Amino acid sequence: MSTTVYIAVHGGAGYHGVPSEQNVKSALKRACAQALQHSSLHDSSAISVVEQAISILEDDEYLNAGYGSNLTIDGTVECDAAVMDGLSGDFGSVGALSGVKNPIQLASAVLRHSREPDSLGRIRPMTLVASGAHAFASSQGIQTVIPNEMVSPRAIREWQKWKSRLDHPTNGDQVSLPQDAMQD
Amino acid sequence: TVGAVAWDNEGNLAAGVSSGGLLLKYSGRIGEAAVYGAGCWAQQSLSKRDGMACSISGAGEHIVRSGLARILGEALQSPESDGGEVDIHQVLLQVFNQKFTEPLHQRGELMPNAGVVLLTKERGEDDEAVPRLWCAFTTESMAVAYASTRKPSPKVSILR
């Protein structure tokens, strides 16, 4: 059996313009390097490697996850994240989550929590959303933040641009968002 | 959206995905990154000689409707894979052509787009499992990077 650890990451399918290209590339390289380093020093399980890599990507403002996420119609950040274990088929995810610095770490905590039935013998949830997910984060000691700390200046500029067009369409045209804004 | 797939030193696979979702989305809306079978999938055989892990990005509502990550897993687990070779390139072409080349509703909707990073296990020399990395997308581009403890210097590319 090979003892090599392999990692591959992505920064999204969509439009990667030249201005941000170098920032995206350096974030992806940093994610690979730090996830492998973590695997050799701490936990080398595939789930842990995935969690580490995605945490680095979530912290980067040029990527649409965690800090720097696209903003909702209300100008807030609400994140989705999931992780799946190939060995056991276990899955954990969070949705429409606010106020948690690294949503992937909470998704991983949901996966671990759902492995065993609860004291009443019930299957535990594999997905938690919104305020329930946030409460679970606090109960698991996962870092929570003031929701606005997840909003990046860059995301605000994008939001202001398209929100004003939405609110004040010129010549009564239907506003069509750029394709990239229509993708997760 | 961002994502990762990994193969650890015990031969186990895992996949993950994380997303801020759509710009100006309704509060409370979730995309594929929160839904089982849609944004990521990982599976492996008991012998650990076969398996896949994938992470997906794209138009959330279409990806959730198609359960894209899971159907890729199921397509790659077809009977042919018991000893026969699955043509992974063909599977990706077929799934993407079937699911992501026509708008689901003809109301001038934007084309449904998706991209996937897929890590598979293949049979190498003396039947040992070796990794192979795939990327497929119908969008303009997809940003990917990969590395290993054997070749730790990451390779990165914005595929177009």
Q: How far is CA A45 from the centre of its chain?
A: 20
Predicted local confidence at residue A174, as pLDDT = 64
Going by C-alpha positions, the residue among A91, A56, A52, A88 that lies closest to residue B10 is A88
| Cα dist from A25 to A29, A177, B118, B156, whole Å | 6, 25, 19, 6
Do B6 and A7 make contact, defined as CB atoms within 8 angstroms? yes
B121: β partners: B131
pLDDT of B81 above 50: no
Summarize pLDDT for B117-140 with one digit per residue, the tens.
Answer: 999 998 887 878 899 999 999 988
Predicted local confidence at residue A1, as pLDDT = 57
How much of chain B exceeds pLDDT 90, in percent?
A: 73
Which pLDDT band holds residue A131 (cuts at 50, 70, 90)?
very high
Known catalytic membership, residue B1: yes
Predicted local confidence at residue A58, as pLDDT = 98
What angle do the packed helices B88-99 and B68-76 form, to 10 degrees?
150
Rounded to an integer, the average pLDDT of B47-56 is 93
Predicted local confidence at residue B110, as pLDDT = 59
SS3 content of chain A, % helix, strand, coil (to 5): 45, 15, 40
A166: how many CB neighbours lie within 10 A of its CB? 12
Predicted local confidence at residue B103, as pLDDT = 57
Going by C-alpha positions, the residue among B19, B58, B24, B30 that lies closest to residue A156 is B24
- A80 → closest Cβ in B13, B30, B51: B30
Tell which A residues from 27 to 86 touch B, by Cβ distance under 8 Å: 28-29, 31-33, 35-36, 39-40, 44-47, 49-51, 53-54, 57-58, 63-66, 68-74, 76-86
pLDDT of B100 above 70: yes
Q: Is the CB of residue A179 less than 8 Å away from at least one CB of chain B? A: yes
Q: Is the CB of residue A158 less than 8 Å away from at least one CB of chain B? A: yes
A81: β partners: A94, B18
Summarize pLDDT for A102-118 with one digit per residue, the tens.
Answer: 999 999 999 999 998 99
Do B148 and A7 make contact, defined as CB atoms within 8 angstroms? yes
pLDDT of B78 above 60: no
Rounded to an integer, the average pLDDT of B99-103 is 72
Give the 3-state secondary structure of residue B114: strand
With CA atoms as reference, the chain A residue closest to B49 would be A1
Going by C-alpha positions, the residue among A170, A166, A155, A174 that lies closest to residue A64 is A155
Distance in Å, alpha carbon of B83 to nearest chain A alpha carbon? 19
Q: Is the CB of residue A17 less than 8 Å away from at least one CB of chain B? A: no
Do A46 and B131 make contact, defined as CB atoms within 8 angstroms? no
Rounded to an integer, the average pLDDT of A33-46 is 92
Do B145 and A177 make contact, defined as CB atoms within 8 angstroms? no
Predicted local confidence at residue B106, as pLDDT = 46
Predicted local confidence at residue A46, as pLDDT = 97
With CA atoms as reference, the chain A residue closest to B2 would be A11
Which pLDDT band holds residue B98 (cuts at 50, 70, 90)?
confident
Q: What is the rounded average pLDDT for all residues in chain A?
A: 92
pLDDT of A30 above 90: yes
pLDDT of B107 above 60: no
pLDDT of A125 above 70: yes
Class of residue A104 by CB neighbours under 10 A (exposed 0-12, middle 13-18, buried 19+): buried
Q: Which amino acid is at B68?
A: L
Least confident of A116-120, B50-54, B62-66: A116-120
pLDDT of A126 above 90: yes
Q: Is the CB of residue A129 less than 8 Å away from at least one CB of chain B? A: yes
pLDDT of A128 above 90: yes
Which pLDDT band holds residue B84 (cuts at 50, 70, 90)?
low
Distance (Å, rounded) from C-alpha B108 to C-alpha B106? 6
Rounded to two decimals, the ipTM of the complex is 0.94
